[in-house]
Amino acid sequence: MNIPSENLSVAKRISHIEPLTTLDDKILGPHTAVIVIDVQNDFCDDQGCMAKEGFDVTDAQEMASRLPPFLATARAAGALVVFVRNVYSTDQNYYLSDVWLEQAARARAGSYTKTPVCADGSWEGDYYGDVRPEPNDARVIKHRFNAFLNTDLDTILRANGIRTLVMTGVATNVCVESTARDGFMRDYYVVFTSDGTATYSRQDHDATLRNIDRYFGEVHTLSELETIWMSNEKR
């Protein structure tokens, strides 16, 4: 999207730091983090909790198949890759409050109540398929939809000089969107990938993309970002 020149000149004049105004500048490797949200068996596998609730996980599986080569390109470009994973259910129930459990009992088909979700140390909570961290990737454990809430994600990003978040993972309209919104509130540029995220309803997915693009960042395909990174690598 082209920024009107008059608007851009005002933004540059009143900003204390030079704004990043092009996609090329925003996703420059050294200040970019690719955030991989909740690509776990419970949310992507045919035997996970979402499939057991009756949701179609096909889009999540297809999205997951696109991530490994994309992440390899991001690493080669110098971007920080951050894997975020949920731990919700524990034998002692450390994390699920009365509010969370009431919502689950009212709106979910047994998940979090009769059926544990992303239990600590379980197959269900493990990474799905080939979407797994490499030794130099950062790892964050969360217990709520928003990956910034009560985690060390912001500390990791600030310590590494990150300015831009490239959002991937599941579910588009829940954990990925919640994290992207909070990232924007914390003054990170947000680049939300349209085919590097997935949920269980195309309507919900598209609604999030529209909302992010209007209020919280910009939306691009994986290939658009890969093209920029590979072009920079050849220079």
What positions carry a catalytic annotation? 38, 142, 175
- Which tokens sit at 189? 């540029």
Separation of alpha carbons 61 and 44, rounded Å: 6
- For 207, other C-beta atoms within 10 Å of its C-beta total 15
Q: Which helix (H) or strand (E) holds 36?
A: strand 32-37
Q: Which helix (H) or strand (E) holds 98?
A: helix 98-107
Check if the beta carbon of residue 54 is closer than 8 Å to that of residue 200. no
Q: Which helix (H) or strand (E) holds 168?
A: strand 164-170
Q: Which helix (H) or strand (E) holds 155?
A: helix 153-159
DSSP-derived 3-state class of residue 27: coil
With 0-12 CB in 10 A as exposed, 13-18 as middle and 19+ as buried, what is 1? exposed
Q: Is the dihedral of CA 62, 64, 211, 104 positive or negative?
A: positive
First to last CA, the chain: 25
